Structure 1
Amino acid sequence: MTKEQIIFLHIPKTAGTTLREIVYAQYAVDRITPIYRDERFMDMETFSQLPPEKKDAADIFIGHFAYGFHQHLSGNRPYKYATMLRHPIARGLSLYNHLKNLQFAGSEISFSELLKNKGSQFRNNQSRYIAGWGTQKMLETAIQNIEKDFLFVGITERFNESLLLASHDLGWQLKPYKRRNVTSTMWATNYADQLRNDKESMQELQKLNTIDMQLYEYANKRFSQQIASHFPNAVEKLLHFENRLHQAA
């Protein structure tokens, strides 16, 4: 494992729930601090009030918080950030399906109406997480933050490769896992398919994520360079890992 405390930004709908389970397979449970606005977990307000020794005890933090979380730490231990990014359109479709099936179940709310209630979640949300809330120059700041403070940035569409990179960057062991919270298979109605066939809504979704698309393209290129640099035999290693996954299924 790395000597730094790892701050894992769980950006919604980027396979973070699956990642959270993988985290629990990598670290001792008393060295993990999940932070969510959910009664099962600690929230940010409670964490901020913890004494320094409690904060220092964690080796990894994971939750729906943005860059800047390190300001709540004691400063006694070094830190690095980590996260997963997903293609912005795929993420937007997954988010729409999630909201329509959960928060707006039984409602005939349209995509344009949904944006009035949840617009910020669809608008360059990944860039805002990595740049930090309220940042004006989101793309520039997000890239600067990645280059300066992120030890690991995975790609959801390249999930197994991401775990391979995590084995190098975070010292994780490659272990079999199960996909969790996959919205396309959780409910009977897949609203993402309906939205995908709505040309006007898809154009709006693309306009809302122009910065996220640039960030994703940068991160994907960076990811490919890291895989090539760290794993000259990446294809062989990935094939071996995926064979283990198939055997464990």
Structure 2
Amino acid sequence: MLVFIHINKTAGRTVRYILRSSFGGRHCEVEPWHAPWTGPPFSSADLARLRRYYPRLESIGGHRLRGYVDLEEAGTTFRYFTFMRDPLRTCASRFQYNVQYRGKKDLVFEDWIQQKWVRNHQTKMIAGSANVDKAIRILRRKNIFVGLTEHFDESLLLLKALVAPGLDISYRRVNVAGDKTIAKQLLTDKASRQLLVEANQADLALYQYVCHELFPQYRADYGPHLDSHLRQYQQQRQNRFNYWNLTVSRLKQYLLYKPVLYLYRKGVPVA
């Protein structure tokens, strides 16, 4: 089973569409059954309950999946992957998203950047804390594939070859910010950039590890034809999704899974 650990603002929504396009009703955007955002992340118990409604499940993804949580299910091999992005740009984009798309017009960057949940977010998604050594151990122990948003097409090609041969990597970009003015201002202003650096020390270290250790290994494992295959893929890639699979996935998500989650959280017995 593919397990996509969705880190915010790393092209994750496009990856989610790729998974839905590839697997249709065999993919689910998961949440813990107890609550969408509070309490422990998605667990093996959550997966066991999910299986009642997705018996042919082949992939799961979501913001509440974590690298440090070991999913267990008899007879299932879990293949974890995620995407990382330059931590300063990621953090600046997250602030911009809160202002532009969540309508928090009065949000003050200098206050926002000091909040614990904002800082070193990518490392915490893997390790549960801002512990770079722990994050690296988890990546290695669980063989978590880490794509790079800055090398998105190449990452997809590597992911398909090394981890997920059944993946359909035709796609079009989803949820791309049109106006990046706020993020650019934060990155170019000396004072705000320094605050971004201070808030992402662990993420910067982990990102460098992925760029200089893991990603070169993926390239070596792929073999000598990677560059030519990448050019061919970019020239021939169809700018589309499988809309039948997208529709099936969405219908199952919103007509079955979400209603059952709602009832469960209200204390209504569900099968």
Look up the match of 2:171.
177
Check 1:58–1:96 CA distance in 2 against 1; reply closer, same or farther (3 A cut).
same
State the SS of the aligned residue for 2:113.
Answer: helix
Return the match for 2:108 from 84, 107, 110.
110
Q: Which runs of 5+ in 2 are unaligned?
A: 241-271
1:70-109 correspondence runs (5 A): 70-71=70-71, 73-107=72-106, 109=107
Return the match for 1:239 from 231, 240, 260.
231
Look up the match of 1:226.
218
What per-residue deviation string (whole Å, max 9, x for no partner) do you get for residues 142-190 of structure 1?
Answer: 111111113421111000110110111211455431111112x1x5x73
1:225 and 1:49 map into 2 onto residues whose CA distance is: 34
State the SS of the aligned residue for 1:158.
Answer: helix
2:200 and 2:146 map into 1 onto residues whose CA distance is: 19
Return the match for 1:6 from 2, 12, 15.
2
| AA aligned opposite 1:128 | K
2:194 and 2:166 map into 1 onto residues whose CA distance is: 39
2:222 and 2:167 map into 1 onto residues whose CA distance is: 15
How many Å apart are 1:49 and its aligned residue? 6.9
**TM-score normalised by the chain length of structure 1:** 0.81
Check 1:174–1:233 CA distance in 2 against 1; reply closer, same or farther (3 A cut).
farther
What per-residue deviation string (whole Å, max 9, x for no partner) do you get for residues 92-114 of structure 1?
Answer: 1211111111224432x321122
1:113-128 correspondence runs (5 A): 113-116=111-114, 119-128=115-124
2:184 and 2:204 map into 1 onto residues whose CA distance is: 21
Check 1:230–1:32 CA distance in 2 against 1; reply closer, same or farther (3 A cut).
same
Kindly indicate whether the alpha-carbon contact (under 8 Å) linking 1:166 and 1:172 is maintained by their aligned counterparts in 2: no
How many Å apart are 1:212 and its aligned residue? 0.7
Look up the match of 1:149.
142
Return the structure number with greater relative CO, CA threshold 8 A, min gap 6: 2
Kindly indicate whether the alpha-carbon contact (under 8 Å) linking 1:70 and 1:79 is maintained by their aligned counterparts in 2: no
Kindly indicate whether the alpha-carbon contact (under 8 Å) linking 1:84 and 1:154 is maintained by their aligned counterparts in 2: yes
Aligned length: 229
Q: Which runs of 5+ in 1 are unaligned?
A: none
What per-residue deviation string (whole Å, max 9, x for no partner) do you get for residues 54-113 of structure 1?
Answer: 576322110002224434x44442223111111101111211111111224432x32112
Check 1:202–1:223 CA distance in 2 against 1; reply closer, same or farther (3 A cut).
same
Look up the match of 1:63.
62
| AA aligned opposite 2:138 | N
User: For the aligned residues, what is the CA RMSD?
Assistant: 2.7
Q: 4+ residue stretches of structure 1 with deviation over 3 A?
A: 43-49, 51-57, 68-71, 73-76, 172-175
1:104 and 1:157 map into 2 onto residues whose CA distance is: 27
Identity rate, percent: 26
2:206 and 2:81 map into 1 onto residues whose CA distance is: 15
2:46 equivalent to 1:34: no
1:193-208 correspondence runs (5 A): 193-208=184-199
Look up the match of 2:14.
18
Check 1:123–1:25 CA distance in 2 against 1; reply closer, same or farther (3 A cut).
same
**TM-score normalised by the chain length of structure 2:** 0.75
Kindly indicate whether the alpha-carbon contact (under 8 Å) linking 1:52 and 1:74 is maintained by their aligned counterparts in 2: no
1:178 and 1:130 map into 2 onto residues whose CA distance is: 27
| AA aligned opposite 2:235 | N
How many Å apart are 1:6 and its aligned residue? 1.9
